[in-house]
């Protein structure tokens, strides 16, 4: 079988679609070469070989011959020979998995150099300094990545060499200096590994290939995969590619760029480059990178010349490549390039990571530019990422004590306590504290801390540094390269001028401006106009499910309306009982011995409860409102401590003993499965009657006052049997008739139930006889289907997830097999009895994109979620409908 795919010289064995086999990098190198872009020739060893290697510790038969053949093709194409002294072919060995894993896998450049070929390279290029610089880079990278010699060894030698010469920059060292550095490097390798640095290029090549395959299993790569749900089985490909050199003089350069601004999404070429540099010098923070464009330079306040000014011709070529790539991929690209003696070479392209704001802007503008259609734009924006846009940003009028400024690497505002290590960030994060991770720069080892932090601050590195790229991907605000700040890890302090900030002090970051502020700064609500409104309008046209909200306070209702909700799917009435003013009456009601006494207390609650609904109905003006009657066990409303009991006794004019007794009486072993939901309505019908009266009186009042209509939907919780609903529905209907008779006005209303017990789902046909709607309460349904208490699952669920027993937390993403099956059964049975029965979901899952996809697949009419998730649900519902 075929293990090796060639690319370059205007044609390729592979294509962009073959990323599973060739990895993202290999597939896109093949694609770029095949559309005629300048790609140095090379070949890709497939991910299947990695899998074989991981499982068997060796290579499949035929691989070696195929590699030699592909290498020979490159030699022929370039008229160079791998290992030859006079025209030495050098290659890079690069890893590349299906999805990009930034910084996870290591690349070796300049492979093929040894004590002899380096001389050939020097003669051929006429530049000995360049040749020896390349060789020492090779020893350094190969030593680190392949031989496992800590890079600190090489850095130490290099630092000493520069000190000796009294120079600061690597570029100030001469060929002779590099020769001496190389001798020291080789000696150190021998000391550390016990073996001489390998001189045979074939030996170098196979060792490097093995190192790349081995790196698939290293700790950093595993951590990254775990955090991003990337399966172990995917494996990585290895790309072997002819070297081009950005370090051969002043007409050479290396750079990285985004075809559009990854922070704002603006259609502006955005990138950084370095003259006379190689590989990752740009992102490694060794020298300050320069901007590609004059515009970018001005934006970042840089005084270094832009590529546009320094090498206008090559820049022109690069702009053409940019247009070509965007037209071809119809997507924003993240590219890596090198300029060798005035000639441009493309070394990588992939879909660029971007902030949520940029994703929105790019998607909407690409529709306007005719590159993609509306549906594709809707498909491209990750609903979960919208979260970033819906949360507050810094109030521009609030006072800011700006202490430093860095690059605006990832937008958003974040305040928190300063920490200086990823482990510390994680530890404090687990305690629920908000932290800002402050590092000189970040590396893949810091990812867990970046996750735990609210924001990330670095004092070194550019817009394409590790911190910036990872923060944008995670949606964390980030200020990068705030160079005035000095971090001292030893003392746990950060200084700027005369200001000293210790671990634990609060700072605020503005990732949109790059400002670092002392203390906490006030925030404001986000703008929901422009691109956001445009994309939402397209999503609304596409989706078929409605989106409602779970809300009971006027503030939440207003937020949800602003976010475009189409009604309330769950208004929980118990929250309304806790108000300081009301709780006394509520407790009196609970303590009451007789129905009469209970009714008296309820009569005091009625006007307050009615007022709640008046306000909600007004805010929702005409949209349906599902009100769930009282659900939690009464015990929840009673005081627990002795002192509080005394207070209640005094307020209720009852003896303390009665309070104590009643409390003991109401206590339950397992309240989740106890006297709650409709069981309360069955045993204390006067409570539900009062609530129903409050709803209908409020509806009548609002209709009269506004002239509009109100659509209340009265929902009975925790029904298991047909008879429960039948009894309580009559109670609601009778109450409605009474209110209508008293007021001389009617209101169109529905009575329905929550489906949150397995029995209700299985007997949904019987229940539908009395239910005009079902709302799937998937929180309780998940608890009862799994026999698992949500409040107690924390102690073992993580182990279940780690061992793959459950794919995700079933309280976050609906379990389609079990819980979902019951939802399907209930949907079918409900519809078989009542064709137009209204079906929705009001569990936490209503705001989860994967669960929303499931809801679409069973044909629910709406999903209901918390106010801030409404836009996410609108977009997710549209994607589910596509
Ligand atoms: P990563 O996945 O970490 O980005 P890459 O394989 O892309 O690693 O390599 C990193 C950098 O090394 C590239 O951006 C490029 O600058 C340089 N590089 C890789 N291969 C070559 C090559 N054949 N010629 C010149 N530079 C190369
Ligand atoms: Mg890298
Ligand atoms: Mg790369």
CA-CA distance, 827 to 845, in Å (whole number)? 17
3-state secondary structure of 647: helix
Spell out which residues line ligand 1, taking CB within 6 angstroms.
Answer: 40, 92, 94, 103, 107, 109, 241-244, 254, 279-280, 336, 338, 347-348
Calculate how far, in angstroms, residue 30's C-alpha sits from the geometric centre of ligand 3. Answer: 15
pLDDT at position 102, please? 57
Question: DSSP states of 685-751 as a string?
Answer: HHHHHHHHHHHHHHHHHHHHHHSS--EEEEEE-S--SHHHHHHHHHHHHHHHHHHHHHHT-----EE
Q: Which ligand is nearest to the CA of 444?
A: 2
The bound ligand whose nearest atom lies closest to the alpha carbon of 107 is 1
Report strand pairing: 624-628 vs 568-572: parallel
What are the residue numbers of the active site? 466, 842
Token duo for residue 378: 């809707």
Helix, strand or coil for residue 760?
A: helix
- CATH 3.20.20.60 given to domain 543-633+668-881: yes
Ligand 1 atom closest to 101 (CA): 2
Query: Whose C-alpha lies nearest to ligand 1, atom 3?
Result: 103
Structure tokens at 436: 């800002």
Q: How far is CA 371 from CA 314, 354, 539, 563, 720, in A?
A: 26, 18, 18, 28, 53
Distance CA 405, CA 710 (A): 53
Any idea which ligand is nearest the CA of 108? 1
- Which ligand 1 atom is the nearest neighbour of the CA of 94? 6
- Scanning the structure block, which residue is given the tokens 């990068």? 480
15-19 long-range contacts, CB within 8 A, separation 24+: 16/329, 19/98
Q: Whose CA is nearest to atom 18 of ligand 1?
A: 279
- Ligand 1 atom nearest 245 alpha carbon: 25
Count of all residues that appear for the chain in the document: 882
Closest CA to 516 of 426, 415, 420, 392: 415
Q: What is the pLDDT of residue 335?
A: 97
The answer to whether the CB of 779 falls within 8 A of the CB of 790 is: yes
Mutate to test the pocket of ligand 1, among 71, 98, 106, 107 (most ligand atoms within 8 A of CB): 107
Nearest Cα neighbor of 158 from 137, 134, 128 is 137
Q: What is the mean pLDDT for each group of 10 consecutive residues in the chain (882 residues)?
A: 92 93 96 96 97 91 97 96 95 91 75 97 93 95 93 94 90 93 97 97 96 86 81 92 94 96 93 89 78 91 92 97 97 97 96 91 97 97 84 82 90 92 93 94 86 93 81 83 93 94 95 92 81 96 97 90 96 84 86 90 95 96 96 87 84 84 90 94 97 98 96 98 98 98 97 98 98 96 92 83 85 94 98 97 93 98 92 97 96
Which ligand 1 atom sits nearest the alpha carbon of residue 104? 3
Confidence (pLDDT) at 473 = 67
CA 725 to CA 738: how far, in whole Å? 20
Q: Reading across the β-sheet that carries 108-111, which strands appear in turn?
A: 11-12, 4-8, 42-45, 236-242, 91-97, 108-111
Residue 413, class by beta-carbon neighbours within 10 Å (0-12 exposed, 13-18 middle, 19+ buried)? buried
Query: Cα(43)–Cα(14) distance, rounded to whole angstroms?
Result: 10
Strand partners, 92: 241
CA angle 249, 254, 257 (to 5 degrees): 155
Domain 392-524 matching CATH 3.50.30.10: the answer reads yes
Residue nearest atom 11 of ligand 1, based on CA coordinates: 279
So where are the chain's domains?
253-354, 392-524, 543-633+668-881
Q: Which residue out of 100, 105, 274, 347 has the highest number of ligand 1 atoms within 8 Å of its CB and is therefore the one to mutate?
A: 347
Question: What is the ipTM, given to two decimal places?
Answer: 0.97
The environment of the single-atom ion ligand 3, i.e. residues with CB closer than 5 A, is 336, 348
- Closest listed residue to residue 699, CA positions, set 593, 764, 624, 756: 624
The fold of the 253-354 domain, in CATH, is D-amino Acid Aminotransferase; Chain A, domain 1 (3.30.470)
- The closest of 351, 155, 335, 144 to 254, measured between CA atoms, is 335
- Which stretches of 425-551 are assigned E, i.e. beta strand? 435-439, 455-458, 478-480, 486-488, 493-496, 499-502, 506-510, 515-518, 523-524, 546-550
What distance in angstroms lies between residue 94's CA and the mean position of ligand 3's atoms?
8
Nearest CA to ligand 1 atom 22: 243
């Amino acid at each position: 079988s075929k293990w090796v795919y060639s690319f370059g010289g205007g044609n390729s064995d592979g294509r962009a679609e073959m990323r599973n086999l060739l990895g993202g990098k290999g597939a896109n190198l093949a694609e770029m070469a095949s559309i005629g872009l300048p790609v140095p020739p090379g070949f890709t060893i497939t991910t299947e070989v990695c899998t074989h290697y991981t499982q068997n510790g060796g290579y499949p038969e035929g691989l070696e011959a195929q590699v030699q053949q592909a290498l020979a093709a490159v030699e022929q194409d370039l008229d160079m020979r791998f290992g030859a002294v006079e025209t030495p072919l050098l290659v890079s060995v690069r890893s590349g998995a299906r999805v990009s894993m930034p910084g996870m896998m290591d690349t070796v450049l300049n492979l093929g150099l040894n004590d002899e070929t380096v001389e050939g390279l020097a003669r051929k290029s006429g530049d000995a300094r360049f040749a020896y610089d390349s060789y020492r880079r090779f020893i350094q990278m190969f030593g680190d990545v392949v031989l496992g010699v800590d890079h600190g060894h090489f850095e130490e030698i290099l630092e000493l060499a520069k000190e000796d010469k009294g120079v600061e920059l690597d570029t100030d060292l001469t060929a002779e200096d590099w020769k001496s550095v190389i001798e020291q490097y080789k000696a150190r390798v021998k000391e550390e590994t016990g073996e001489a640095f390998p001189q045979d290029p074939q030996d170098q090549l196979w060792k490097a290939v093995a190192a790349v395959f081995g790196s698939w299993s290293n700790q950093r790569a595993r951590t990254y995969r775990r955090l991003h749900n990337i399966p172990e089985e995917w494996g990585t490909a290895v790309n072997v590619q002819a070297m081009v050199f950005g370090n051969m003089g002043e007409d050479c350069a290396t750079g990285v760029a985004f075809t559009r601004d990854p922070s704002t999404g603006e259609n502006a070429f955005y990138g950084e480059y370095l003259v006379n540099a190689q590989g990752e010098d740009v992102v490694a923070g060794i020298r300050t990178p320069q901007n590609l464009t004059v515009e970018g330079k001005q934006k970042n306040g840089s005084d270094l010349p832009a590529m546009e000014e320094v090498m206008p011709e090559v820049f022109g070529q690069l702009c053409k490549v940019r247009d070509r790539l965007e037209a071809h991929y119809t997507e924003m690209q993240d590219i890596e390039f090198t300029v060798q003696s005035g000639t441009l070479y493309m070394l990588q392209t992939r879909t660029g990571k971007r902030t949520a704001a940029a994703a929105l802007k790019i998607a909407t503008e690409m529709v306007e530019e005719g590159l993609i259609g509306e549906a594709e734009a809707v498909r491209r924006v990750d609903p979960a990422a919208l979260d970033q846009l819906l949360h507050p940003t810094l109030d521009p009028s609030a006072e800011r004590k700006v202490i430093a400024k860095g690059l605006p690497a990832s937008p958003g505002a974040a305040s928190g306590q300063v920490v200086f290590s990823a482990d510390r960030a994680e530890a404090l994060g687990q305690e629920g504290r908000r932290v800002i991770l402050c590092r000189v720069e970040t590396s893949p080892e810091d990812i867990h801390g970046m996750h735990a932090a609210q924001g990330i601050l670095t004092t070194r590195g550019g817009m394409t540094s590790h911190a910036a790229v990872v923060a944008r991907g995670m949606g964390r605000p980030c200020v990068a390269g705030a160079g005035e700040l000095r971090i001292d890890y030893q003392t746990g302090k950060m200084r700027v001028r005369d200001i000293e900030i210790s671990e634990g002090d609060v700072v605020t970051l503005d990732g949109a401006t790059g400002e670092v502020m002392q203390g906490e700064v006030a925030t404001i609500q986000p703008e929901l106009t422009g691109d956001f409104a445009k994309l939402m309008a397209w999503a609304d046209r596409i989706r078929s499910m409605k989106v409602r909200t779970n809300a009971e306070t006027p503030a939440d209702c207003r937020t949800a309306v602003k976010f475009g909700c189409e009604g309330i799917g769950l208004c929980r009435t118990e929250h309304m009982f806790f108000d300081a003013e009301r709780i006394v009456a509520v407790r009196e009601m609970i303590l009451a011995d007789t129905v009469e006494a209970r009714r008296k207390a309820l009569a005091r609650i009625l006007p307050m409860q009615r007022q709640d609904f008046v306000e909600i109905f007004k805010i929702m003006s005409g949209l349906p409102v599902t009100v769930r009657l009282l659900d939690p066990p009464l015990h929840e409303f009673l005081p627990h401590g002795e002192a509080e009991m005394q207070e209640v006794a005094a307020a209720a004019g009852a003896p303390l003993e009665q309070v104590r007794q009643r409390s003991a009486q109401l206590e339950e072993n397992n309240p989740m499965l106890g006297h709650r939901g409709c069981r309360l309505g069955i045993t204390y019908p006067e409570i539900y009657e009062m609530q129903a009266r409050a709803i209908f009186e409020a509806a009548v009042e609002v209709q009269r006052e506004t002239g509009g209509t109100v659509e209340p939907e009265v929902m009975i919780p925790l029904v298991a049997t047909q008879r429960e609903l039948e009894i309580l529905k009559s109670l609601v209907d009778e109450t409605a008739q009474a209110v209508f008779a008293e007021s001389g006005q009617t209101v169109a209303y529905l009575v329905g139930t929550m489906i949150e017990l397995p029995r209700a789902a299985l007997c949904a046909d019987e229940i539908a006889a009395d239910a005009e709607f079902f709302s799937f309460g998937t929180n309780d349904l998940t608890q009862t289907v799994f026999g698992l208490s949500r409040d107690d699952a924390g102690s073992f669920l993580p182990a279940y997830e780690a061992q793959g027993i459950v794919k995700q937390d079933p309280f976050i993403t609906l379990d389609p097999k079990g819980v979902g099956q019951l939802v399907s059964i209930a949907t079918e049975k409900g519809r078989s009895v009542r064709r137009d029965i209204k079906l929705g979901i009001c569990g936490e899952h209503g705001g989860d994109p994967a669960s929303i996809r499931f809801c679409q697949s069973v044909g629910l009419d709406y999903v209901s979620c918390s106010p801030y998730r409404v836009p996410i649900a609108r977009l997710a519902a549209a994607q589910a409908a596509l």
